[in-house]
Amino acid sequence: MKKLFTSALLALVLSINVYAQEKTYFDENWEKTTQDNMEYYRETTPKGKLTLIKDYYKDGKLQMEGLASDTTPNSEVFDGKVTWYTPEGKVLNFATYSNGQQVGPAQTYDMNGRLTEDLVYKADGNFSGKMFSYKDAEDGMDFNILIEYENSAPVKTTVYDGDIKGIRNETITDKDSSTETKYYGEKGRYLGSNTTSGSGENMVVDYYSSPMRISKIEKYRKDGSVKEGVIYSKSGKILQEQKMNKKDGYKTTYDESGKKIGHLVYQYDKENDIYNPMDGDDYHLAYEYSQISSIDTYEKGSKVISKYFDEDKKLSSEQFLKDDVIQEIKYYSPDGKLKSTLTYKDGIPYNGTTYEGFNETIYKEGIIVNIKNFFEGANTKLSFEKKLNAKQTGYDATVYDPKGTILYTFTQPISEDGEDYSFTAQITQYVKGKPANKSSVKAGVIQSGKIRIKTWDGAKELERSGKWILLKLYNMDGKLIQETKTLADAQEENASAENQTLISEDNLYHLFD
């Protein structure tokens, strides 16, 4: 009896040793740590020739499980199926291994539990299967996308909405990398295709998103010219249709109610193989075709009026032309009132004010007498202003910061007002609204004085000392990172935009804010 008891006890002890679990603690970077500092922990249990690894989140929920022949953290040699889980307990992904090499099925899911990868790996490292992207994912996709792979190469891409057999387009890629894109409309109705082989007539279809709807269909001839096209609104109404025949063509525009608002007639120029607009109104649509951006009016083959509209659909300007040359531009304020009129002479602005973006330029008898630039924003504040002096020999300029404090003033002769590297001026720099540094610049090279200028990555300070130019570079924190000394004559010979010692007019306009 005593011998039998001893044998049973020994068997129990051996059993406990064989199945004993080991626990290891890891920090957020999966580096070993103490229990007090751990974010994950691992339990390992022998399973025959392999070891079962179970990793847990700090709260005790399973993070990963799988068999391995080597359990070294970050260098595991897995064997069989290995599964990873989200903190909520959902399967994040699984993979299949053979002696550490990924071979066999693998799947990955997003945080909503949707399949994003469904692949099968081969021993040579290639894979086949499917990858999914979803329109409501964090990366902001407009549509759902399915990509099918063979030997790690995409062979078919499907862009779709809710139903993969419904409205969609499919791009098929062959072994020679030639593609064919097939387009489908509502309820999966086949519309046509586009091939890169150039073997015949093609079609291109664009879609709105959320929900997926056809926005534009264009059909092309074998030579690549447009045969016909239709633009639809999001509600499915025709906004514009275009057809090009052998001798002529037309483009007709409609509003959302279906009322015709514009019609343009084209004439085919056989010699140049182009369609020239002849008579009527050419409407240009923007912002997903939801509004009119401009209207060009043609008479007997010449453009006579161009109207431009802002984002609020208000008329912003009108150009009047003769023989395709601008004669006059009228600018309007948002309330519809005439803001200014700019007249042209010999195709050049002559009298009046022009508005381009945040710039306002005043012309008098063909000469620019005033330029104003404003900071972007609802409360327009002056960024800089240049005025022609009384003798009309040069410009006096003032540069401001967004708070309205003066940064620089400079005088600039007209004869040198050209390219950036030809900038010539007498400059006064202000600090806290008071004059601080004065400098003289010729053709972009400092001749006397000192100036500090903002750059993309900090600032540069230039000072003239006899025949030398002293350059100091500062980082964004204002720390000095480089100090050099170069001959001024050498800079004049190397008057390129990349030269750090050169000063341009744009440098003063704090374009780096």
* pLDDT per residue as tens digits for the range 119-133: 999 999 999 999 999
CB 361 within 8 A of CB 353: yes
Q: How large is the average pLDDT for residues 162-171?
A: 96
Q: How far apart are CA 358 and CA 297, in angstroms?
A: 27
Q: How confident is the model at residue 198, as a pLDDT?
A: 65
Considering only CA atoms, which of 165, 218, 206, 215 is closest in space to residue 189? 165
| The pair of three-digit structure tokens given for residue 238, joined into one six-digit string | 């025709």
Residue 9 confidence (pLDDT) above 50: no
Question: Rounded distance, CA 461 to CA 477, Å?
Answer: 15
pLDDT of residue 6: 43
Of 7-16, 218-227, 471-480, the poorest mean pLDDT is in 7-16
Taking alpha carbons only, the member of 473, 450, 477 closest to residue 460 is: 473
Q: Is the confidence at residue 228, as pLDDT, over 80?
A: yes
Other Cβ atoms within 10 Å of 496 Cβ, number: 9
Mean pLDDT, rounded, for 463-470: 95
Residue 423, amino acid: F
Spell out the domain ranges in the chain: 389-513
pLDDT bin (cut points 50, 70, 90) of residue 513 is low
Calculate mean pLDDT across residues 397-407: 94
Q: 81, 66 in Cβ contact below 8 A?
A: yes
Between CA 184 and CA 207 the distance in angstroms is 10
User: Which residue type is seen at 42?
Assistant: R
The string of pLDDT tens digits covering residues 167-213 is: 999 999 998 889 999 999 999 999 999 998 766 789 999 999 999 99
pLDDT at site 511 = 63
Q: Name residue 378's amino acid.
A: A
pLDDT of residue 259: 96
Q: How confident is the model at residue 16 (pLDDT cuts 50, 70, 90)?
A: very low
